[in-house]
Amino acid sequence: MKKMLLYITAFLAVCFLVACGRKSDDSAALSSMPEIEGITYYGDIPENPEKVVNFAYSYTGYLLELGIDVSSYSLDLEKNSAAFGDQLKDAVQLTTSDSEAIAAEEPDLILVFAGDDNLETLKEIAPVIEITYGKSDYLQMLTDLGQIFGREKQAQAWLDEWEEKTDQAKKELGDYLDPDTTFTVMDFYDKNIYLYGNNFGRGGELIYDSLGYAAPDKVVDDVFKDGWFGVSQEALPDYIGDYALINVNSDTKEAAASLKESDIWQSLPAVKNGQALEIDYNLFYFSDPMSLDLQIDAFVKAIKDANS
C-alpha cells in the first residue's frame, strides 16, 4: 500500500512538472513579444505574417511601410488613399463582425483596436494584436511595430529620412512663414464643422509636431486634449489662426462650399489674406509614414502657392 502511494505521488509530481513546463513554454512564447504600453497579444504572433486582416485602420500605412502584406481594409479612406490605396487593390473590405468572411481569408494574424466587441471571436480565428489608439504617438508607433515584426532597421531608416525631410521643409517654409505662425486644422462631418489637434490625423501631426507650428490658444485649450472638437460657424473666429487647413473630399465638398459662402467665413483674416488652404482629406486623414511622406510635399506646395 505504501509503495502504491509512493508511485501515485511520484506520478502526480511528474505530471505537475510537465504541466509547469508546458505553462512555461506557453508563457515564453507570449513573453517573447516586446512589452509595449497599449498593445496586447493573444496567441502566438508570427514575426513574418503572410496574410494580415487589419481592422486597426490607423496603422495600415505603417504595416505597408514595413513590408507587411495587408489583405483587408475597413474604411473606404484606406482604399482611396493617395499614399497606399493602390496596395489594397486586391484587398477585401471587412468588419470585425464578419466572422465567416474573416475565417475564409485564413489569416495568420489579425489587428484590431482595443475595446472591439468581437475580440473573443477574432481570437478563435487567428492570433490577435489589440492596439489602444493614442498610447504611442505617430512616430513611436512605427518603432513599436518595427519591434513586433523584427523590422527595427526599416523603421529607424524611415525615421532618419523623415527627420531630414522635415528639416528641409522647415528651411523652405522659413521663406514664407514666421516661426510663430498659427494654424487651425479642420474638416466637415455630416455638414458639421470639426477642429483637430496634434494627434488625430487630418494634418495635425505634420503641422503641430513635425514642423513645429502652433495652434491658437483657444484650439489648444478646447481641442488638443481629446484630439477633436465640434464648433459652430458663429464660434469660428475664436479658433481660426493665421492659416486654416481645410480637409475636403467629394463627400464634404458641399458642406465646405456652404461655409465659404457665409459672412462669418468671409470676415475671417485668414480668408481675407488668402490663407485658408483647402487640402485633400483622403491624403491627410491618416498620420502613417506613407501618408506623411506625401503630406509634407503637398503642404509645402500649398504654402508656396498661397504666398506666390
pLDDT digits (tens, 9 = 90+) for 26-40: 333 344 789 999 999
Higher pLDDT, 23 or 46: 46
Residue with cell 509512493: 6
Tell whether 168 is covered by a domain: no
Measuring CA to CA, which residue among 24, 90, 88 is closest to residue 57? 88
Task: Specify whether 136 is located in the same domain as 211.
Answer: no
The edge-to-edge listing of strands for the beta sheet with 276-280 is: 228-231, 192-196, 183-189, 243-248, 276-280
Tell whether 131 is covered by a domain: yes
Q: What is the DSSP string of 215-259?
A: --HHHHHHTTTTSEEEE-GGGGGGT--SEEEEEE-TTTHHHHHHH
Task: Specify whether 143 is located in the same domain as 212.
Answer: no
Task: Specify whether 143 is located in the same domain as 182.
Answer: no
Q: Where are the alpha helices (DSSP H) in the chain?
A: 2-31, 60-65, 76-79, 99-105, 119-125, 140-148, 152-173, 204, 217-222, 253-260, 263-266, 269-272, 281-284, 289-306
pLDDT band at 6 (very low <50, low <70, confident <90, very high): very low
Across residues 132-144, what is the average pLDDT? 96
User: What is the distance between the alpha carbons of residues 159 and 167, in angstroms, rounded to a whole number?
Assistant: 12
Across residues 156-172, what is the average pLDDT? 98
Residue with cell 485602420: 57
What distances in angstroms separate CA 119 from CA 96, 125, 180, one per listed residue?
Answer: 8, 10, 45
Q: Which residue, of 84, 117, 152, is where some domain finishes?
A: 152
Q: What is the pTM of this model?
A: 0.88
* The pLDDT of residue 30: 43
Task: Specify whether 292 is located in the same domain as 185.
Answer: yes
Tell whether 13 is covered by a domain: no
Task: Specify whether 139 is located in the same domain as 196.
Answer: no
Give yes or no for a contact between 113 and 60, defined as CB atoms under 8 angstroms apart.
Answer: no
Task: Specify whether 202 is located in the same domain as 239.
Answer: yes
Give yes or no for a contact between 87 and 100, defined as CB atoms under 8 angstroms apart.
Answer: no
Structural domain including 206 reads 176-306
Q: Which residue, of 152, 187, 221, is where some domain finishes?
A: 152
pLDDT band at 138 (very low <50, low <70, confident <90, very high): very high
Tell whether 66 is covered by a domain: yes
pLDDT digits (tens, 9 = 90+) for 200-226: 999 999 999 999 999 999 999 999 999
* The pLDDT of residue 269: 98
- Percent of the chain's residues with pLDDT above 90: 88
User: What is the distance between the alpha carbons of residues 210 and 9, in angstroms, rounded to a whole number?
Assistant: 65
pLDDT band at 4 (very low <50, low <70, confident <90, very high): very low
pLDDT band at 19 (very low <50, low <70, confident <90, very high): very low
| Tally of domains in the chain | 2
Question: What CATH code is carried by the domain that includes residue 127?
Answer: 3.40.50.1980
Across residues 153-181, what is the average pLDDT? 98
Task: Specify whether 148 is located in the same domain as 181.
Answer: no
Tell whether 170 is covered by a domain: no
Task: Specify whether 301 is located in the same domain as 182.
Answer: yes
Q: Residue 288 has what DSSP assignment?
A: S
User: What is the distance between the alpha carbons of residues 29 and 41, in angstroms, rounded to a whole number?
Assistant: 11
Across residues 243-256, what is the average pLDDT? 95
Task: Specify whether 50 is located in the same domain as 142.
Answer: yes
pLDDT digits (tens, 9 = 90+) for 43-62: 999 989 999 999 999 999 99
Q: Which residue, of 117, 152, 187, is where some domain finishes?
A: 152
* The pLDDT of residue 191: 82
User: What is the distance between the alpha carbons of residues 16 and 1, in angstroms, rounded to a whole number?
Assistant: 22
Task: Specify whether 219 is located in the same domain as 254.
Answer: yes
User: What is the distance between the alpha carbons of residues 33 and 147, in angstroms, rounded to a whole number?
Assistant: 8
* The pLDDT of residue 190: 85
Tell whether 19 is covered by a domain: no
Tell whether 109 is covered by a domain: yes
Tell whether 159 is covered by a domain: no
Task: Specify whether 94 is located in the same domain as 134.
Answer: yes
pLDDT digits (tens, 9 = 90+) for 51-98: 999 999 999 999 999 999 999 999 999 999 999 999 999 999 999 999
